[in-house]
Amino acid sequence: MVKPHYSTTHICTDNVNLWFGNKHVLKNVNLPVYDKKVTALIGPSGCGKSTLLRCFNRMNDLISTCRITGKVTLHTQDIYAPHTDVTTVRTKVGMVFQSPNPFPKSIYNNIAYGLHIRGEKKPKVEQIVEKSLRDAWLWDEVKDRLKQSAFSLSGGQQQRLCIARALANNPDILLLDEPTSALDPQSTAKIEELCLELKNKVTILIVTHNIAQAGRISDYTAFMYLGEMVEFGETRKMFTVPKDKRTEAYLNGVFG
Amino acid sequence: MKNIRETTFKSLTYVSALFTIIFLFGIIGSLFLEGLPLIKLVTFKTFILNPSWHPTSYPADFGILSLIAGSLIVTMGALILAIPLGIGSAIYISEIAGNKTREIIKPIIELLAGIPSVVYGLFGMAFLSPFLIRVFGIPTGLNAFSASIILGIMVVPIISSMSEDALSTVPRQLREASLALGATRWETIMRVVLPAAKSGVIGSVVLGFGRAIGETMVVIMVAGGAAQIPTSIFQPVRPMTAAVAAEMGETVFGSPHFHALYAIAIVLFIITFATNLITEVVFFRKGDLK
Amino acid sequence: MKRREWEEFLGVNLLRLVIGITVAFLILFLFVIFSKGAPMISWSFLTESPRKYMTEGGIFPAIVGTFWLTILSIAFSLPLGIFTAIYLSCYARAAWFVRITRLSVRTLAGVPSIIFGLFGRMVFVHLFGFGISILSGALTLGILALPMIINSSEEAIRGVPKDFWEASLALGATQRQTILRVILPTALPNILTGVIISIGRVAGETAPILFTAATFYTRQMPSSAMDEVMALPYHIYALMTEGAHASKQVPIAYGTAVVLLLVVLSISAIAIIIRYHMRRKRTW
């Protein structure tokens, strides 16, 4: 087990345990998420990586049998502390899901959604929408059709739209839950490139079942197995000289 | 503050749900409030079993056996017509019809379901009744027989659409397996598909029963209105709903007759409530459709 | 072998016969009503009031009455129904309260329409003192329509993909905002279809308005919600069961039936068309 360096980490989990009913899904997880870097969560299916991801914006709260102990810290604030305003937490944490899920609204209104609900004024909204679309590498493709339905975009474009939508809230951290698993190779490559560019602007935590993808884009990787964080380290070091036997087995494709 | 708007909105939804409960219990309460006082005049047993309904004579008779008989005869008659037509239509739509035919026939049946009951009543009174008089040579065309026919047609769409839903839920693999073993279409329907959809189909019949026994306008216009237990199907009858609807207008508020009509309404409510309960508990348990 | 083939032949054709009878009845029914009623339809029939004790004249007041009764009853039950549906699909927590609510909705859906009339008479006409009026009738019809609107709205809301919920909440929206900005707009076409179908039902109901709103003959148009009113379904009933001039009244009844059928059927048609278009436009 790895202990994080708290001094350089503003985002981390501290001894987090999580149960769905009687099932102990996360066991004593200590994950540091370093600022303006890409951290990947890898592991076989069922290891708890998506569940861990969802701890960071309390989306696990939506499951009624969920019970959690430990701390999840976002800039010195434990987001699981009692009386925490969950909706505020979620505006600071952006999430992109496995399958693109734009709203049945126009492209513009999709991006502006997070701003509209906070009552932002039109000039500022327009400004932020353009910036978000530029950051997500989508502006040139949609700037002439912002009023069109989001469903008129291709799958890859829709996913970039969802990234832009999350970026519009100016989050501290962007959570990506297997964002390319539903996309074709070309769109996947584009989004991977986008991540490398985005990390300069926002911290990224990405769950992926594709080891090669983690190798391509992440600075740090955490390997999870059966609910435990088995190993954590710099991606290049971990992939070449893994410290744990289980990590080595997974990286070599012994189990998926 | 954001929280106030959240709680207000949430409370509004709770209050709305509460209103639904209030309405139901209000209805039940009002029925019992005005119906139970009859117990001072007539025992429960007499009320149900006495065939003599003469609420306006002196002394008055408050026995509803003839009314119950009227309701049951007309409803059963309706089901005799509606079950074969309804289930048959459902099987045809689900198993025999081609896609294009299905697209035409389904809306037609839905259309039948949308016709207001009073128009059915008009048809019964002004067309069917004289027709029956001519064909059968009976004195009146407003009787149990004609009411059964009209009511039966009304119930067909209910049985048909619910049965068709049940049939369509039967997995395709079952039919394929049967046909692959050399069974004919008819055999597949009778031996595999229909039994698999059994609970939904029977449920639709029970529901149809509930709908027919609660129907007012058709029976008040077509069943004839004589509060007697009939000896032939061509005699007029007065089902419970017809009695309540026809006599309420002429009753003094708070009189024994008034309470008696509410007492009939209690019986009606209990019957339809029990019917719905049976449908849900018995026929919609999850395991049944496998 | 022969016997099974025969069975198949008879069986399938029996089914064809059955569907044929059903469709034939509908055709006969519509033919009778329209052939006897359509000749009555004229501009004056639709726009004039009845004269000479219902033996002459038109049915305009009944059209107006049905219109107001329907509009007001839906105005009453629509907000109540949608909010209850939102409760059932989004906020339901305490198991006992949810169960009683669902039980109430299901039971109300099965109550015979005459019992609504009795309730309306006791509570709206007498207890609240509204008397026999559009208001009493509309409230009674509203309660009748409530379970339909609740059921179709709840189904519509549950039909919205979970993805939309997740996406909205993950962007920091509250439950209320998600419902108002994403869920309801997405569910709107199906909610609308349910409402339209309820309108069609309500317009054709007679029993609930027998003792709460309807009257055979009013001297003038209703001027307020507290007036008695004529209504199309009640008019048919009254023409056939009251009054002394059957030869004149029966044709008027047929004509009224045609008007009522056209109203109800076109409402159903609108609902079906909307549902069809919305399904085609749907992109998820």
Chain C residues within 8 A of A205 when measuring between CB atoms: none
Nearest to B27 among C101, C115, C234 (CB): C115
Rounded CA gap, B67 and B51, in Å? 8
Residue B286 has pLDDT above 60, yes or no: no
Exposed/middle/buried for residue C247 (C-beta within 10 Å: 0-12, 13-18, 19+): exposed
pLDDT for A256 equals 65
Mean pLDDT of A242-253: 91
Q: Do the beta carbons of residue C200 and residue C269 sit within 8 Å?
A: no
Question: Could you give the dihedral angle defined by the CA atoms of residues B81, B84, B85 and B88, in that order, rounded to the nearest 10 degrees?
Answer: 180
Helix (H, G, I), strand (E, B) or coil at C165: helix
**Nearest-neighbour CA in chain B from C88: distance (Å):** 8
For chain C, the structural domain boundaries read 57-281
Structure tokens at B6: 């959240």
DSSP per residue over B79-98, as a string?
HHHHHHHHHHHHHIIIII--
Nearest to C167 among A57, A89, A103 (CB): A103
**Set of chain C residues whose Cβ sits within 8 Å of the Cβ of B189:** 11
DSSP per-residue letters across C170-194: HTT--HHHHIIIIIHHHHHHHHHHH
**pLDDT at A8 > cutoff 60:** no
The full set of domain ranges for chain A reads 6-251
DSSP-based three-state secondary structure for A22: coil
Percent of chain A with pLDDT over 90: 75
Question: Which residues in chain A are closer than 8 Å to C283, comparing Cβ atoms?
Answer: 104, 149, 151
C-beta of residue C36 within 8 angstroms of C-beta of residue B123: no
Strand A203-207 relative to strand A173-177, pairing: parallel
Q: What are the tokens at C13?
A: 């054709």
Which residues lie closer than 8 Å to B20 by C-beta, 6 or more apart?
A: C80, C84, C101, C104, C105, C108, C146, C150
Find the mean pLDDT for residues C240-264.
Answer: 88
Which sign does the torsion angle of CA B245, B249, B250, B256 carry? positive
* Average pLDDT value for residue range C24-50: 88
Kindly determine whether residue C15 and residue B96, on different chains, have CB atoms separated by under 8 Å: yes
Token pair for A144: 């002439």
Of residues B18 and B172, the one with the higher pLDDT is: B18
Q: Which residues from chain C sit within 8 angstroms of residue A90, using beta carbons?
A: 169-172
C57-281 is classed in which CATH architecture?
Orthogonal Bundle (1.10)
- Decide: residue A123, CB within 10 A, 0-12 exposed, 13-18 middle, 19+ buried: exposed
The secondary structure of residue B237, as a DSSP letter, is B
User: A145 to chain C nearest CA, in Å?
Assistant: 18
Cα B216 to chain centroid distance, Å, stands at 10
Question: Each residue of C116-128: pLDDT tens digit?
Answer: 999 999 999 888 9
Reference A52, options A25, A78, A33; nearest CA is A25
Does residue A113 surpass a pLDDT of 50? yes
Residue C181 pLDDT exceeds 90? yes
Give A256 or C3, the one with higher predicted confidence.
Answer: C3
- The single-letter DSSP state of residue A61 is G
pLDDT in tens, B15-68: 999 999 999 999 999 999 999 988 888 888 888 888 888 888 888 888 889 999
User: Chain C closest CA to B275's CA: distance in Å?
Assistant: 9
> pLDDT band at A1, cuts 50/70/90?
very low
Q: Look at residue B199 and tell me whether its pLDDT is greater than 80.
A: yes
The verdict on A179 touching C (C-beta cutoff 8 Å) is: no
Give me the sign of the Cα torsion angle C31, C35, C36, C39: positive
Helices A107-116 and A122-135 sit at what angle, rounded to 10 degrees?
120
What does CATH list as the number for A6-251?
3.40.50.300
Please report residues of C whose CB lies closer than 8 A to that of A116. 181
Cα–Cα distance for residue pair A35/B227, rounded to 1 Å: 87
Cα of A135 vs its chain's centroid, Å: 16
The pLDDT of A112-134, averaged and rounded, is 92
Is 70 exceeded by the pLDDT of residue C159? yes
Q: Are C113 and C193 in contact (CB under 8 A)?
A: no
Q: What is the second-level CATH architecture of the domain B49-289?
A: Orthogonal Bundle (1.10)
Which tokens in the block code for residue B104?
């035409």
Contacts of C82 (CB under 8 A, 6+ apart): C149, C153, C184, C191
Interface of C with A in 131-190 (CB under 8 A): 161, 163-164, 166-174, 177, 181-182, 185-186
Nearest CA in chain A to C163: A101
Query: How many beta-carbon contacts under 8 Å exist across A and C?
Result: 68
Per-residue exposure over A58-96, b if at least 16 CB sit within 10 Å of its own CB, e if not = bbbeeeeebebebbbbbeeeebbeeeeeebebbbbbbbb
**C93 vs A40, which has greater pLDDT?**
A40
Q: Please give the mean pLDDT across all residues of chain A.
A: 91
- If DSSP codes are grouped into helix, strand and coil, which group holds residue B258? helix
pLDDT at B288 over 50: no
Q: Domain residues of chain B, as ranges?
A: 2-40, 49-289
Task: Give the pLDDT confidence score for residue A76 in this predicted structure.
Answer: 82
Chain B residues with CB-CB distance to C101 below 8 A: 17, 20-21
pLDDT at C228: 85
CA distance B223 to B217: 10
Q: CA distances (Å), B9 to each of B5, C81, C82, C83, in order?
A: 6, 15, 12, 9
Q: How far apart are CA A182 and CA A97, in angstroms?
A: 10
**Chain B residues touching C241 at Cβ < 8 A:** 220-221
Q: Is A106 on the interface with C (CB under 8 A)?
A: no
**Which residue in A88, A90, A103 is closest to C182 by CB distance?**
A103
Alpha carbon of B286 to those of B94, B164, B276, B283, C109: distances in Å? 22, 18, 17, 9, 22
ipTM over 0.85: yes
For residues A53 and A31, what is the distance between their CA atoms, to the nearest angstrom?
10
CA A103/CA C257 separation, integer angstroms: 45
Q: By three-state DSSP, how is residue C92 classified?
A: coil
The per-residue pLDDT for A80 is 93
> What are the pLDDT digits (tens) for B229-263?
888 889 999 999 999 999 888 888 888 888 999 99
Question: pLDDT band at residue B141, thresholds of 50, 70 and 90?
Answer: confident
Higher pLDDT, A54 or C6: A54
pLDDT tens, A144-157? 999 999 999 999 99
Residue A7: what pLDDT?
45
Question: How far away is chain C from the Cα of B110, in angstroms, using its nearest Cα?
Answer: 9
Does the structure show a pLDDT above 60 at A138? Answer: yes
Question: Beta strand A11-20 with A32-33: parallel, antiparallel or unpaired?
Answer: antiparallel
pLDDT of residue C53: 66
Mean pLDDT of C3-11: 84
In C38-139 the beta strands, taken as DSSP E runs, fall at: 50-51, 56-57
Of C22, C97, C150, the CB nearest to B89: C22
**Between A101 and B27, where is the model more confident?**
B27
> In terms of CA atoms, which chain A residue is nearest residue C175?
A87
Strands (E), chain C: 50-51, 56-57
The DSSP annotation for A127-187 comes to HHHHHHHHHTT-HHHHTT-TTSBGGGS-HHHHHHHHHHHHHTT--SEEEEESTTTTS-HHH
β-strand pairing of A93-96 with A66-74: unpaired
> Is C114 in Cβ contact with B125 (below 8 Å)?
no
Q: What is the pLDDT of residues A202-215, one digit of tens each?
A: 999 999 999 999 99
* Confidence (pTM): 0.84
Average pLDDT, chain C: 89
C162: left (phi > 0), else alpha (psi -120 to 50), else beta?
alpha
